[in-house]
Structure 1
């Protein structure tokens, strides 16, 4: 497989040392060139962002090209980036400061973001924000999904 973006979600445990198994579903989507080294940073909404090294370089180049230097500097200083790599058991060690920022204890939900970037969420917070657990949330999802003409929806059959 040679995807340009990650596909899927996966939930894994975080052990007492802050290590999390990097999900097999995502390992299978990495190319040899992307390797087993990543950068993890603070992300929006009290999440973490896990970038492959090429994606991190793209992100930093985009940040450097912003016309609002003050805003770019604010983001750069707030990222708290850390280099992480898969160990022999396909785990990554998430720094304590980042675990605390994202409220991650016991479990982490890996969610696709843009390109070869993942968001790491507290599973309860993700489900509260995006879970399709009520009729209203399902209706809102359907309206957003079908409303942009991305696919044929119920109104197309009329």
Structure 2
């Protein structure tokens, strides 16, 4: 499983191109050959996947029963706007205008790695989210989400 790590502050140029930071690019296997996929996120952000990770997500979604109306709607919403990205010679990707508009992204952005994907946020929205109510009570959130999990081992595991 891909384990991307880090937060990166970047700027889009006037054409909507984003330079992939070198520290992030080193974590992306075969990015020059395979490219990336960008799509809408669930919270008015964008999500970038490696091609192999996108293929895993698409395989899961393709197993949904399309005779179910909610499944069809989810598939449409999830796939809407999905776009292949290719790095140019300068290490930039061109983010589609329709997706930038969806996420209200212009100028400064934050790339936030989330295990196998990269969330793309407008910098101000990301800072507001991370400095909001949840960050004030992170310990309580951790207990609620992780407190009842059995990790199957001692303290060293």
TM, length-normalised to structure 2: 0.79
Q: Which runs of 5+ in 1 are unaligned?
A: 151-158
Q: Secondary structure at the match of 1:49?
A: strand
Note closer, same or farther for the CA distance 1:105–1:139 as it changes in structure 2 (3 Å cut).
closer
- Pairwise CA distance, 1:111: 0.9
- Pairwise CA distance, 1:71: 3.1
Note closer, same or farther for the CA distance 1:53–1:34 as it changes in structure 2 (3 Å cut).
farther
Return structure 1 stretches of 4+ with deviation > 6 angstroms.
Answer: none
User: In 2, Cα distance between the equivalents of 1:33 and 1:121?
Assistant: 21
Which residue does the alignment assign to 1:102? 103
User: In 2, Cα distance between the equivalents of 1:75 and 1:14?
Assistant: 30
Q: Over aligned residue pairs, what C-alpha RMSD do you find?
A: 2.4
Which residue does the alignment assign to 2:137? 140
Note closer, same or farther for the CA distance 1:12–1:36 as it changes in structure 2 (3 Å cut).
farther
Matched length: 144
User: In 1, Cα distance between the equivalents of 2:135 and 2:98?
Assistant: 35
User: In 1, Cα distance between the equivalents of 2:5 and 2:54?
Assistant: 18
Stretch deviating more after TM superposition (77-86 or 15-24):
77-86
Equivalent positions of 1:2-17 (< 5 A) are 4-17=2-15
Which residue does the alignment assign to 1:73? 72
TM, length-normalised to structure 1: 0.79
- Pairwise CA distance, 1:75: 3.1
Provide, for residues 11-70 of structure 1, a one-character-per-residue CA deviation record: whole Å limited to 9, x for no partner: 100011000111222111122378450111111111111111111111111111234643
Note closer, same or farther for the CA distance 1:144–1:91 as it changes in structure 2 (3 Å cut).
same
Which residue does the alignment assign to 1:156? none
Note closer, same or farther for the CA distance 1:82–1:124 as it changes in structure 2 (3 Å cut).
same
- Pairwise CA distance, 1:137: 5.0
Note closer, same or farther for the CA distance 1:4–1:42 as it changes in structure 2 (3 Å cut).
same
Note closer, same or farther for the CA distance 1:40–1:138 as it changes in structure 2 (3 Å cut).
closer
- Give the conservation status (yes or no) of the 8 Å contact 1:39–1:81: yes
